[in-house]
């Protein structure tokens, strides 16, 4: 068992709650392994619906200036590990306090810069590289870059112990009933996305033809996905006769889900559309066919990141074509038959997802690698 250490994790919420989602999962996972965690966040409001029950061993503290370090308990428990997530810079008063405390004790904390997830080649090159601190109260310390990733030469992937067992015990029909989602055997598809240009085309296809010849029940996540679907239905009047006529497509709008319930959603569905870093990883662990709406960047750097991810998956051609279409635009007019841009091959996508999950499950997870890294540096 790993030694019990005190971790201070710093997180800034940029947008879309992905940063706080990843940081909360990490904090809760570390706490579940006996670690003590203080999670400093500038906007913790999302945790009210994402993790309303909290987690034993995790304290959520406000990252507002100036930090109340005494109330946080640093005098009694200075950090063994400091984690700045996704390039945020730890508050300078915190660094100064730790420098005084740790220099007096003769032991420096392990300072980790936790980076974004990527399958690109640079991750292996940059993982665990040191960055000497040259100035300020912590001059002489070392900051370590820690890159999550998909190979043994990276920091691994967030995966809590017992995840596979939880999924094996999952009762799909019971969960759908508890969520008041009507289900009569339709193909279940979850939609958690931004505003993909191909959405209207895909909805029109499902409304006319269903999926694999079966009706579709679309489960739409609250927030931007819900707004995107409703915008299509308002703007694409040609969809209304299809929705009201053949009824090949039914739509259910979901409330905000806890992280655990989001896992259940992914497990329940036959196809999952996800976005961002946290949800794509949960879709991968679900082992169901999935499509990733990667966070768009102005310089289109996200497209190279997407292709590296598809390479890692060993994605079949149909999945690559669909991802390219889903993550670019604009969309053509809806076709009377399924177009190559929206052709779905669930059997091939399922095989791909299961093979990737099996391969990655055999590797050590992110928390295990973090704990091992800290043990070597502390």
> Residue 282 in 3-state DSSP?
helix
pLDDT per position as a tens digit, 222-242: 999 999 999 999 887 778 777
Domains of the chain: 6-157+363-377 (3.40.50), 163-361 (3.40.50)
Cα 111 to Cα 82: distance, rounded to the nearest angstrom: 5
pLDDT in tens, the chain (378 residues): 689 899 999 999 987 788 999 999 999 999 999 999 999 999 999 999 999 999 999 999 999 888 989 889 888 888 999 999 998 999 999 999 888 876 555 678 999 999 999 999 999 999 999 999 998 888 889 999 999 999 999 999 999 999 999 999 999 999 999 999 999 999 999 999 999 999 999 999 999 899 998 999 999 999 999 999 999 998 877 787 777 666 899 999 999 999 999 999 999 999 999 998 999 999 999 999 999 999 887 777 789 999 999 999 999 999 999 999 999 864 444 444 445 445 789 999 999 999 999 999 999 999 999 999 999 998
The catalytic residue among 84, 115, 263, 277 is 277
Count the neighbouring beta carbons within 10 Å of the beta carbon of residue 360: 19
**Rg (alpha carbons) of the chain, rounded to whole number:** 22
Cα 285 to Cα 297: distance, rounded to the nearest angstrom: 26
Alpha helices in 44-141 (DSSP H): 47-50, 69-72, 92-105, 122-126
Tokens of 153: 């030469």
Tokens of 208: 């006319």
The catalytic residue among 19, 115, 120, 201 is 19
Residue 33's nearest CA partner among 376, 378, 377, 366 is: 366
- Say what the pLDDT of residue 251 is: 94
Cα 369 to Cα 366: distance, rounded to the nearest angstrom: 5
- Say what the pLDDT of residue 81 is: 96
pLDDT per position as a tens digit, 90-106: 999 999 988 887 655 56
Q: Which helix (H) or strand (E) holds 231?
A: helix 224-235
Residue 277 a catalytic site member: yes
Tokens of 22: 């990843």
- Say what the pLDDT of residue 153 is: 97
Cα 28 to Cα 46: distance, rounded to the nearest angstrom: 15
This prediction has a pTM of 0.93
- Say what the pLDDT of residue 102 is: 66
Cβ atoms of 140 and 152 within 8 Å: the answer is no
- Say what the pLDDT of residue 339 is: 52
Cα 288 to Cα 161: distance, rounded to the nearest angstrom: 20
């Amino acid at each position: 068992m790993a030694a019990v250490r005190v971790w201070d994790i710093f997180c800034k919420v940029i947008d879309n709650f992905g940063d706080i989602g990843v940081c909360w999962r990490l904090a809760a996972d570390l706490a579940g392994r006996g670690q003590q965690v203080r999670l400093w966040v500038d906007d913790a409001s999302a945790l009210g619906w994402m993790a309303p029950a909290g987690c034993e061993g995790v304290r959520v503290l406000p990252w507002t200036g100036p930090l109340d370090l005494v109330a946080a308990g640093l005098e009694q428990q200075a950090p063994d590990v400091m984690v700045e997530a996704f390039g945020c810079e730890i508050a300078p008063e915190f660094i100064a306090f730790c420098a005084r405390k740790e220099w007096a004790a003769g032991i420096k904390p392990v300072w980790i810069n936790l980076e974004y997830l990527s399958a690109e080649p640079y991750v292996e090159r940059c993982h665990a590289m040191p960055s000497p601190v040259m100035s300020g109260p912590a001059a002489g310390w070392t900051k370590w870059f820690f890159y999550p990733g998909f190979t043994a030469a990276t920091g691994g992937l967030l995966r809590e112990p017992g995840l596979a067992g939880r999924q094996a015990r999952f009762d799909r029909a019971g969960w759908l009933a508890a969520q008041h989602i009507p289900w009569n055997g339709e193909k279940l598809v979850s939609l958690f996305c931004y505003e993909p240009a191909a959405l209207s085309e895909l909805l029109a296809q499902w409304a006319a033809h269903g999926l694999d010849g079966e009706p579709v029940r679309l489960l739409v996540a609250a927030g931007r996905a819900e707004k995107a679907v409703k915008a299509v239905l308002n703007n694409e009047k040609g969809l209304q006769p299809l929705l009201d006529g053949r009824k090949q497509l039914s739509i259910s709008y979901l409330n905000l889900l806890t992280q655990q319930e989001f896992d259940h959603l992914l497990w329940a569905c036959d196809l999952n559309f996800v976005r961002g870093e946290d949800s794509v990883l949960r879709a991968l662990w679900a082992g169901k066919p999935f499509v990733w709406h990667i966070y768009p960047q102005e310089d289109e750097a996200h497209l190279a990141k997407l292709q590296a991810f598809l390479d890692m998956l060993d994605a079949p051609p149909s999945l690559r074509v669909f991802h390219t279409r889903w993550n670019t635009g604009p969309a053509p007019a809806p076709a009377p038959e399924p177009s190559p841009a929206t052709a779905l091959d669930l059997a091939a996508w399922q095989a791909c997802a299961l093979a990737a999950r099996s391969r990655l499950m055999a590797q050590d997870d992110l928390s295990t690698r973090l704990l091992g890294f800290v043990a070597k540096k502390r």
